[in-house]
């Protein structure tokens, strides 16, 4: 549903305990597409080795953004369910990759871009949340914008410390504990010129604390930005079946209804394939499973009627009996 690119693992760096920095290259060694600072890749994590289904994990890009030769990500290993943890196993899988392995990913997606009208950029990160902020700082240094960065990490567990020092010099402050951070931020947040924007990324509790403090000190929410991790890509969705012209087709996860119909030789008018133009509307017969509308085209009233959907993005979800099936007419 979302286009994928293929990448090769070109280098791994495990110098910081628990964190792996991965360098990915194009298979032909050429330059990769440029991206907006703060962008992430969504890596496809295959099923198997304790992972019941394939997954898609988002990781912020930390490296050069203009005409890059590599994409770089840093991944904190979270204990998967099989080891008594709660993670889906994607980060553990990244930690198993070796040089030369091939992976697939979406092209870079942007959901945490610097605001250009800002007069100054204040970046506050904790732990692995430093990754998108490193990319912001690189861009600010390049374009000569006013920026400063505060980075909270446990001693010995800080990723990218040397890189940040080299890049930002005295614009970068390293802190080792929450108490020190609170003290620092009270002063720093009170002291910013009007027009400064605040960007924060890290564990949820940490971001909440930063945002609460900013709100207390009178920062309007329009000048405070959080990294909304991993919500940008349309998720591949669950599989379902579709009955059309007396035939039953499978629509696997990651395949759209439109693609499944086309693969079976049906002609469905379409233009945008993104749920906006209204071309690929398909009529749904009664007795179908509930619909998951993900388009921007149909209005509430039409959705309520439940008798059509946009085939390029929308899907069926299981009914009470657990069956996910659509009967459509073209």
Interface with ligand FES (CB under 6 A): 270-273, 275-280, 295, 297, 310, 312
Q: Which two tokens stand for residue 202?
A: 């890290």
Q: Which does 8 bind (CB under 5 to 8 A by kind): another protein, ligand FES, none?
A: none
The answer to the question of residue 240 lying near another protein (CB under 8 A) is: no
Cβ contact 291:317 at 8 Å: yes
Nearer to another protein, 78 or 277 (CB): 277
Q: What share of the chain is helix, strand, coil (3-state, %, to 5)?
A: 25, 30, 45
Cβ contact 175:168 at 8 Å: no
Q: Which two tokens stand for residue 300?
A: 């509430």
Candidate list 141, 161, 217, 292; residue touching another protein; CB under 8 A: 141
Candidate list 17, 28, 29, 67; residue touching another protein; CB under 8 A: 67
Task: Give strand ranges (E) for the chain.
Answer: 5-13, 19-25, 40-45, 55-60, 71-76, 102-105, 120-126, 147-152, 172-175, 196-201, 224-226, 240-244, 247-251, 281-284, 291-292, 308-310, 315-316, 325-329
- Binding region for another protein (CB under 8 A) out of 36-44, 172-180, 207-215, 285-293: 36-44
Q: Which does 67 bind (CB under 5 to 8 A by kind): ligand FES, another protein, none?
A: another protein
In 3D space, the residue among 101, 31, 41, 40 whose CA is nearest the CA of residue 70 turns out to be: 31
Candidate list 28, 116, 155, 305; residue touching another protein; CB under 8 A: 116
Nearer to ligand FES, 224 or 313 (CB): 313
Binding site residues, another protein, CB under 8 A: 31, 33-37, 39, 64-67, 69, 107-110, 113-117, 138-139, 141-143, 166-167, 222, 232, 271-274, 276-278, 296-297, 299
């Amino acid at each position: 549903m979302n286009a994928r690119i293929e990448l090769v693992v070109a280098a791994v760096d495990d110098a910081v305990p628990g964190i792996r920095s991965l360098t990915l290259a194009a298979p032909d060694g050429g330059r990769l597409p440029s991206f907006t600072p703060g962008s992430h890749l969504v890596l496809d994590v295959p099923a198997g080795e304790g992972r019941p289904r394939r997954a898609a994990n988002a990781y912020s890009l930390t490296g050069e953004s203009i005409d890059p030769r590599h994409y770089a990500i840093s991944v904190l290993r979270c204990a998967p369910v099989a080891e008594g943890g709660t993670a889906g196993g994607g980060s553990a899988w990244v930690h198993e990759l070796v040089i030369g392995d091939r992976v697939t990913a979406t092209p870079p997606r942007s959901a945490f871009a610097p605001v250009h009208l800002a007069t100054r950029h204040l970046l506050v990160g904790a732990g692995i949340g430093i990754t998108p902020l490193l990319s912001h700082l690189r861009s600010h240094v390049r374009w000569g914008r006013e920026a400063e960065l505060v980075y909270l990490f446990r001693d010995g567990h800080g990723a990218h410390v040397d890189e940040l020092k080299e890049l930002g010099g005295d614009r970068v402050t390293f802190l080792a504990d929450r108490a020190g951070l609170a003290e620092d931020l009270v002063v720093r947040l009170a002291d910013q010129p009007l027009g400064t924007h605040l960007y924060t990324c890290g564990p949820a509790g940490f971001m909440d604390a930063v945002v609460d403090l900013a709100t207390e000190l009178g920062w309007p929410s329009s000048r405070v930005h959080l990294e909304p991790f991993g919500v940008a890509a349309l998720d591949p969705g669950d599989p379902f079946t579709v009955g059309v012209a007396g035939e039953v087709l499978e629509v696997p996860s990651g395949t759209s209804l439109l693609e499944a119909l086309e693969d079976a030789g049906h002609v469905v008018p379409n233009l945008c394939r993104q749920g906006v133009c209204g071309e690929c509307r398909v009529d749904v017969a009664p007795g179908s499973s509930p619909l998951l509308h993900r388009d921007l085209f149909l209005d509430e009233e039409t959705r309520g009627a439940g008798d059509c959907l946009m085939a390029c993005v929308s899907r069926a979800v299981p009914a009470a009996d657990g069956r996910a099936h659509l009967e459509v007419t073209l």
